[in-house]
Each structure stands twice: as C-alpha cells, then as structure tokens.
C-alpha cells in the first residue's frame, strides 16, 4: 500500500479548504478573518480559533485561564484587523476530567473576559469526548465598510512595526514546563503572558486608520511577518537585534551565550498575540503618537522591499533561522 501524504497546516488549507471558500467574503482563506457586508456602513468581521489540551494549553492549566485564552487568541485576530468585537459562538468538548467544578471555573473565566472586553455569548454547543479537552470560539466584530485591514496590503517602502514585546508567551511555556529559572516575579509575568495574553484591541482603530497590512503574532513573529510578505507578494526585512523584550525576557537573554540563537527562539516561539503591521514611512510619527496615548510599546523592526519572502537580519547580516514559527503539521 502506498504511503499516505499527510500535508501540513497551510498546505491543507491551500489544497483542500480554499476551493470551498466564498470567492469574496473569505479572502481566499489567506487571512485571519472573513469579512461580510452587514449593517449600513459596516462590515461583519468573523474569526475562529480552537485550542486543544496538550497542544495550546497544558493539562494542569486552570480552566478559567483556558477560557480566557480561548477568547483572547480570537480577539487578537480582530484587533489586528481593526475590528471592534461584540459577541461569540462557543463549542466545548469536555474531557473526562471536566466535572462540574471544572466547568464552573471555565465559565468564570468567560464571564471575567466578557466584562473586560464588552462581549457576549451568542450560542454554540457542548459535547463530551474521551480524548483531550478542546474548545473553539467564533468571534464577531464590526468595522466600517471596506476598512478591515488584510495581510495583503504591504508595499515596498513601507516600514514594519510590532506592538508590545515578543517572546514572553514562549518563555512562559518554558517556565511552566520547568525549563526555566528566574526570579519569582519574572516567572509569574511570563506564565501570565502564556496563559492569559492581552489582545491589543485598544490599538485596533489605529491599525484600521494607518496600517497597510497586519496580522496578529500567534505562530511566531517571523512566521506571521512571512504571511504578510506572502500575501502581499513583497519582501519583508526584519532586524532581529531590535526585537522588543520585556524585563523578564531581557533577564533570560542576559544569561544566554548565543544572543542571535536566543533571539531566534523568541521570534519564532509564538503565543505572543501582539500585532505586526506595515505602514508608510510617513505614518510613523502618527503611529508612535497613538501608541504613546495608549501607553503601548511600538517598535520599528524592519521594512518592506521589492521581491518576495522574508529576510531576517542580525547586526546587518542576513541570516537563515532554523525555523520561522509554529505550524500544525
């Protein structure tokens, strides 16, 4: 019997799922959201992500934080598109360990984030499974008509920016797996970044008004920058040495003997849920003013050039990272 060719995540989308997509609203399945004409003057923006025990969260993670992470990874997609969320559909696949107290904890996490982000549950389904627990949510938001930013708008001459800091999600996972030792307050900050990342919804109007392309940083900064390059058929050049780091990540970096290799790990680990975006050079001052108004860190990390693909530089020299980020192969 011939071997079965098991394609990776993105090949599965390209070869199998893209032919099923709506020719206009689904954006060719090349973005993080679908956009539908809706109420007068607005588009309905939808996104869906799933999280699976042992893949996206650890079996020992408290279920209230699992619920919060589920909502936040989806809210991050809406933020990167410039959309304002209002509601969600939920699917729960409870495992054998999910008794009534665990389900109550999960709902407590949902309730907490509904209040924080002003969203409401609109429907869904719950089932029981003998396998690991898994959950999915479909988040919905509004954006003014024809304003939803895609991955595909970057143009040569644009600059590349990222919000917040990079690498804390991956470091938080290392901490929870006992692969990392830092001061207790640093460890707490990193584990919180992994379990309950903060979507940059406050920056969504700025993205909508000034960005030419954007994506949320879920698979890893280099991978998601590469998605923008591929969608726009341009070349993104990223300077690794300017990667924005938190105090905890910098403390970890200070003990590394190979700074380039350490920065590659941070730039490819994923689970950051920041926004990587491109914008014209003339928009940089406005972007920085808006970020400062929101007390949000914004870092210029590269540029858009003629050509195709992703180029990664370290101290002026182009390098070849061993990986770009996370994929479900």
| Calpha distance 208→44 (Å, rounded) | 14
Is 239 assigned a ligand-binding role in the annotation? no
Q: What is the pLDDT of residue 149?
A: 96
- Sequence-distant (6+) residues with CB within 8 A of 85 are 75, 78, 117, 118, 119, 139, 140, 141, 201
Is there a contact between 160 and 222 (Cβ–Cβ < 8 Å)? no
Question: Is 218 annotated as contributing to ligand binding?
Answer: yes
- How far is 93 from 70, CA to CA, in rounded Å? 13
Whether 168 has a binding-site annotation, put simply, is: no
Least confident of 51-60, 72-81, 283-292, 295-304: 51-60
User: What does the alpha-carbon distance between residue 168 and residue 171 come to, in Å, rounded to a whole number?
Assistant: 5
Over residues 257-282, mean pLDDT? 97
Residue 5, token pair as written in the block: 């060719």
Question: Where does the pLDDT of residue 134 fall: very low under 50, low under 70, confident under 90, or very high at 90 and above?
Answer: very high
Point out which residues pair with 125 in neighbouring strands.
Answer: 91
Determine whether the annotation assigns residue 328 to a binding site.
no
Q: What are phi and psi of 82, to 5 degrees?
A: 80, 25
Does 22 appear as a known binding residue? no
Provide the pLDDT for residue 1: 39
Q: Domains in the chain, start-ordered, CATH in brackets?
A: 31-144 (3.30.1330.10), 159-319 (3.90.650.10)
Going by DSSP bridges, is the β-strand pair 34-37/42-52 parallel, antiparallel, or unpaired?
antiparallel
How far apart CA 36 and CA 169 sit, in angstroms, is 32
pLDDT at 13 (0 to 100): 67
In this structure, of 10-14, 59-63, 174-178, 242-246, the range with the lowest mean pLDDT score is 10-14
111 has binding-site annotation: no
Q: Which residues pair with 45 in a beta bridge?
A: 35, 141
272 is in an annotated binding site: no
Q: What is the pLDDT of residues 191-243, one digit of tens each?
A: 999 999 999 999 999 999 999 999 999 999 999 999 999 999 999 999 999 99
Mean pLDDT to the nearest integer, 32-54: 85
| 101-110 pLDDT, tens digit each | 899 999 999 9
Is pLDDT above 50 for 2? no
| pLDDT at position 79 | 97
- In the predicted structure, residue 7 carries a pLDDT above the cut 70: no
The answer, yes or no, to whether residue 22 has pLDDT greater than 50, is yes
pTM of the model as a whole: 0.88
What is the three-class DSSP state of 104?
Answer: helix
> Does 14 show up as a binding residue in the annotation?
no
> pLDDT band at 286, cuts 50/70/90?
very high
The reported pLDDT for the residue numbered 16 is 67
- Is 271 marked as binding a ligand? yes
The pLDDT tens digits for 155-204 are 999 999 999 999 999 999 999 999 999 999 999 999 999 999 999 999 99
User: Is position 93 annotated in a ligand binding site?
Assistant: no
Confidence of residue 4 (pLDDT cuts 50, 70, 90): very low
* pLDDT score, position 98: 87
Is residue 219 part of an annotated ligand binding site?
yes
Angle at 171 between CA 304 and CA 191, to 5 degrees: 120
Provide CB contacts within 8 A for 195, sequence distance 6+. 57, 61, 62, 65, 66, 68, 69, 172
- How confident is the model over 242-259, as a mean pLDDT? 97
CA 33 to chain centre: 12
Q: What are phi and psi of 74, to 5 degrees?
A: -75, -40
Q: How many CB atoms lie within 10 A of CB 169?
A: 23
The band of 312, judged by pLDDT with boundaries at 50, 70 and 90, is very high
Q: Is 5 annotated as a binding residue?
A: no
For residue 49, say whether it is annotated as part of any ligand binding site.
yes
């Amino acid at each position: 019997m011939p071997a079965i060719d098991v394609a990776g995540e993105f090949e599965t989308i390209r070869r199998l799922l893209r032919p099923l997509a709506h020719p206009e609203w689904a954006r060719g399945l090349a973005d993080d959201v679908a956009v539908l004409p809706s109420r007068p003057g607005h588009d309905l923006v939808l996104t869906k992500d799933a999280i699976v025990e042992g893949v996206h969260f650890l079996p020992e993670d408290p279920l209230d934080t699992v619920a919060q992470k589920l909502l936040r990874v989806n809210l991050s997609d809406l933020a990167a598109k410039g959309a304002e969320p209002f509601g969600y559909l939920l699917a729960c696949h409870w495992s054998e360990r999910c008794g009534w107290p665990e389900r109550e904890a999960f709902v407590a996490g949902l309730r907490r984030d509904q209040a924080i982000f002003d969203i409401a549950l609109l429907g869904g389904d719950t089932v029981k499974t003998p396998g690991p627990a898994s959950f999915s949510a479909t988040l919905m938001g509004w954006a003014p008509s024809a304003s939803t930013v895609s991955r595909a708008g970057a143009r040569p001459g644009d600059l590349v920016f990222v919000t917040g800091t990079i690498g804390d999600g991956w470091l938080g996972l290392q901490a929870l797996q006992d692969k990392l030792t830092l001061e207790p307050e640093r460890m707490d900050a990193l584990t919180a970044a992994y379990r309950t990342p903060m979507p940059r919804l406050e920056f969504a109007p700025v993205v909508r008004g000034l960005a030419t392309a954007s994506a949320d940083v879920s698979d890893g900064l280099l991978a998601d920058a590469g998605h923008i390059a591929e969608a726009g058929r341009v070349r993104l050049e990223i300077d690794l040495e300017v990667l924005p780091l938190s105090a905890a990540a910098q403390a970890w970096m200070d003990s590394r003997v190979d700074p380039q290799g350490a920065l590659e790990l941070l730039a490819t680990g994923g689970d950051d849920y920041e926004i990587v975006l491109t914008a014209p050079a003339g928009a940089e001052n406005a972007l920085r003013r808006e970020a400062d108004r929101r007390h949000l860190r914004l870092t210029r990390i590269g540029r858009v050039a003629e050509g195709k693909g992703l180029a990664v530089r370290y101290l002026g020299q182009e390098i070849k990272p061993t990986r770009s980020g996370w994929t479900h192969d």
